[in-house]
Amino acid sequence: MKYLLLALGLLGTGQLAHGQRRPKVFMDSVGAPTTYERYWGIVLDGRYQSARNKATNTYRLAPLPAAEFAQAKAATAKRILVAKKLGQPLPAFRVTDYRGRVFDTARLRGKVLVLNFWFVGCPPCEMEIASLNRLHARYQADTTVVFLSLVRSKPAEVTQFLASTPFSYPVAELTPALLAQLKPSAYPTNLVIDQQGHYAFESVGAGVGSTVLLAEAIATARR
């Protein structure tokens, strides 16, 4: 529970309330119904902001001016970026994802590794999935960048969740042993590991522009 509360706290009280209530109606910028995950994924990208109709308890996307996005992104960076592990080597590990693909960090030197830590039922984790899917799509044909998601939930829960909310990252179980080794402090955590195997970026939580910050870190690590 402490992990959930910390991660939610990093979103800010407004988005925390949204995550807890899960109103039935989310609408895109033209007023068409959309899903909770897609709605918040667009908000996190920074292109639109969330506008609430209190009378109907519905939420609709409204354009976010560039200047306001810059301010929101800076505020998000201040909340979620972590510097404690920067420059340190990532502990070596080997996992098999839900499709049977093996990921061995010892064999990924020379590539940029993008890691995501989450669990089923974590509102900010679910909010960022659509945005992370769009980021992953940018690098689908780029073999120099490897994405991996580590989920701290039972396989049956993960399978059921992914059936309704696809996540394009390869997804592997965050086992107790791997949890003790990697020690994410909260969820969601996003990491960028550089070509030398060192921490180049770490964020804890999500907010407006958080995926943009992650994308910028990937671009820097590829140089």
- Tokens representing residue 194 in the block: 């550089």
Q: What is the pLDDT of residue 36?
A: 87
For the chain, give the number of residues: 223
Residue 154 domain boundaries = 77-221
The pLDDT value recorded for residue 58 is 92
**Which residue carries 């964020």 as its tokens?**
203
Q: How many domains does the chain have?
A: 2
Q: Are residues 70 and 81 both part of a single domain?
A: no
In a shared domain, residues 102 and 143: yes
User: What integer pLDDT is reported at residue 115 of this predicted model?
Assistant: 98
Are residues 114 and 209 part of one domain? Answer: yes
Last residue of some domain: 27, 46, 74?
A: 74
Q: Is the pTM of this model over 0.75?
A: yes
Amino acid identity for residue 62 in this structure: A
User: Which run of H or E residues covers position 80?
Assistant: helix 66-80
Q: What was the pLDDT predicted at 145?
A: 98
The answer as to whether 114 is a domain residue is yes
Residue with token string 């399978």: 159
One domain, residues 176 and 202? yes
CA distance 13 to 55: 20
User: Is 45 a member of any domain?
Assistant: yes
Looking at 50, 74, 98, the residue that finishes a domain is 74
User: What pLDDT was estimated at residue 175?
Assistant: 96
Are both 16 and 93 inside the same structural domain? no
The pLDDT averaged over each successive group of 10 residues in the chain (223 residues) is: 38 40 78 91 92 91 95 96 96 96 95 98 94 96 96 96 96 97 95 97 96 97 89
Instruction: Check whether residue 103 and residue 67 sit in a common domain.
Output: no
Task: Count the neighbouring beta carbons within 10 Å of the beta carbon of residue 75.
Answer: 14
* pLDDT for res 23: 54
Residue at 135 is within a domain: yes
Inside any domain, residue 172? yes
The pair of structure tokens assigned to 61 is 């996307």
